[in-house]
Structure 1
Amino acid sequence: MSLVLGMLLDAIFGEPRVIWSRVPHPAVLMGQAVGWCDTRFNGGEMRQIKGVMVLLVLVIASAVLGWMLSALGWVVEALVVAVLLAQKSLVDHVQAVSQGLRMSLADGRRAVAMIVGRDTGELDQAAVSRAAIESAAENFSDGVLAPVFWFMVAGLPGLLVYKITNTADSMIGYRTERHEAFGWAAARFDDLLNLIPARLTALLMVLIHRRWDDWREIVREARQHRSPNAGWPEAALARVLDVALSGPRSYEGEMRDFAWVNGSGNRDSGPREIEAACRALWQVWAGLLGVAMMMWVFALV
């Protein structure tokens, strides 16, 4: 019951500014904890071992906190689930890109810069749209399905362990001189925790949108993707929308020649395709809610 209620609360209210403008969001607190650990321990010798130990402490602390919160009852569980899911906020941010593009290319670039890490200053409309759709696919897996999956598996402890790991990966899980060793454990554990959810996201997209005939190509392209997990929801959503995703893009002034995903699809995406992606995410969310409701019913029997 707590999962169903939490999903509904998140879908209705998202992240109310009236609350989070006054108190720090739990995701912000997680980020502050990771940032403090990065500043305090990421230096000197044995950085990789230090990174492993830091992640271990953060994971144990999150699991214990989740256990303590779950002991307070299903209402508290539902509220925590609602706070840590990101369906409405994700769709709102993606839709903002569509709304921006309908005003001007510059507005679209500014909106998409809020949700992607690539260089956006020179993107044309199609590239802005692809960036928004790719972000929608990957963040639905990371921000909605994976948290729901780990709550189903291990309750609030599982959900909090996933969120702290995902937060750590987003902050220190990069192959840079500073973080390659220290963030190694966070990046690898995040890959592990997303292994099943990413594939379930693709499977759910395919089933709900009746694109099962495309599954073999989705698997092939997902396996060729630069990420072990992000390629699955990206390849599936590309087929659902019949658009081409990925392709060449620039990071910090350096062009990278990434392969196209569904390269035969429409490469001239725009606001209409972004809005179709948002509708698709809500449809997949509804299917996920249905799964959660069935599990709740079965638990009552």
Structure 2
Amino acid sequence: MTVLFAMILDGIFGEPKWLWSRIPHPAVIMGKAVGHIDTTYNTGENRKIKGTISFAALVIAALILGMIIAAIPGIWTDVILGAMLIAQRSLVEHVAAVGTGLRMSLQQGRRAVAIIVSRDTRDMTTSDVTRSAIESGSENFSDGVIAPIFWFAIGGLPALLVYKITNTADSMIGYKTPRHLQFGWAAARFDDLLNWVPARLTALLIWATDRQTPFAKIAADAKLHRSPNAGWPEAAMAYKQNVVLAGPRSYDGKLTLFPYVNEAGKHTLGPDDIAQTTQTLWAAWWMTLAIALFVAII
């Protein structure tokens, strides 16, 4: 019931600005902790060892904190914290904002999508902006919704906090850049491990909202993606909407030629495709809620 109530609470309220403008969000606190180990220990030699040890310390701290909080009598502390760390409503709102921006102007769309992606947005076309929003929505539905729900259901609040600190660390130091290639190695690999099952579950949920494409085609295209996990929800969404995703994109002024996912899909995209994505995200969420209800009943 804890997971079910947390999902409902997040689905209704999301991340209210009036609250998080007054107190720090748990994800912000986690980000500061990761930033601290990065600035303090990511120096000199043996960065891989330093990164592994300092990341392991954060994971252990998250596990212990989760166990302490979980020991509080009643379920509502877990429910409230769980709702804070599941990001369905805020995810959909951010994705939908890109479509709203595009309907006003291309520049507004670029500004909106820049909030949710790290790639260069200055020269994006309408199709590029749309594609970026769909990809972000698909990947973050796995990372920010299904994976937290999965680990919350498997191991309660301790497992949820371990997942969130890992995912936060991966998003901050898990890049293959000269600064973080060694230091963020452990965080990136552990994040890959924790997201392996949820990413494939997310693809199944998105596919189940339509079921028109053989799942084997989704699995085949998922393997084209540069990430061992992100390709699964993106491929599922690409086939669900018959759009092409992934492909070339620019980071820090450098064009990177990634392969396309569902290359035969529609290339010219716009706000209506973003609206369809948000509808699919809610449909998959409702399906997940139904599963959580079923598990709670039995």
- Tell me the distance in 2 between the aligned counterparts of 1:121 and 1:45: 37
- The answer to whether the aligner puts 1:163 opposite 2:130 as a matched pair is no
SS class of match (2:179): coil
CA contact (8 A) 1:214 1:239 kept: no
Quote the residue 1:198 is aligned against.
199
Quote the residue 1:123 is aligned against.
124
SS class of match (2:255): strand
- Tell me the distance in 1 between the aligned counterparts of 2:154 and 2:5: 17
**Cα deviation code 1:174-225 (max 9, x no counterpart):** 11111111100000000000000001100111123223x4211111111121
Quote the residue 1:49 is aligned against.
49
CA contact (8 A) 1:77 1:156 kept: yes
Gaps of 5+ in 1: none
**Cα deviation code 1:239-296 (max 9, x no counterpart):** 1111111111111111111111111111111000000000000000001111111111
- Tell me the distance in 2 between the aligned counterparts of 1:280 and 1:214: 18
SS class of match (1:45): coil
- Tell me the distance in 1 between the aligned counterparts of 2:97 and 2:147: 24
- Tell me the distance in 2 between the aligned counterparts of 1:94 and 1:2: 27
Quote the residue 1:290 is aligned against.
290
CA contact (8 A) 2:224 2:261 kept: no
| One-letter code aligned to 1:36 | H
Shift of the alpha carbon at 1:116?
A: 0.5
Quote the residue 1:95 is aligned against.
96
Q: RMSD of aligned C-alpha atoms?
A: 0.8
CA contact (8 A) 1:62 1:161 kept: yes
Quote the residue 1:276 is aligned against.
276
Gaps of 5+ in 2: none
Quote the residue 2:24 is aligned against.
24
- The answer to whether the aligner puts 1:172 opposite 2:173 as a matched pair is yes
- Tell me the distance in 1 between the aligned counterparts of 2:32 and 2:198: 26
CA contact (8 A) 2:209 2:280 kept: no
- Tell me the distance in 2 between the aligned counterparts of 1:3 and 1:293: 9
| One-letter code aligned to 2:67 | W
Shift of the alpha carbon at 1:152?
A: 1.1
- Tell me the distance in 2 between the aligned counterparts of 1:192 and 1:216: 22
- Tell me the distance in 2 between the aligned counterparts of 1:247 and 1:186: 26
- Tell me the distance in 1 between the aligned counterparts of 2:9 and 2:210: 25
- Tell me the distance in 2 between the aligned counterparts of 1:28 and 1:102: 31
- Tell me the distance in 2 between the aligned counterparts of 1:40 and 1:258: 34
- Aligned residue pair count: 297
Q: Aligned residues: percent identity?
A: 55
Moved over 4 A (4+): none
- Tell me the distance in 1 between the aligned counterparts of 2:257 and 2:61: 41
Shift of the alpha carbon at 1:141?
A: 0.1
Q: TM-score, normalised by structure 1?
A: 0.97
Quote the residue 2:232 is aligned against.
232
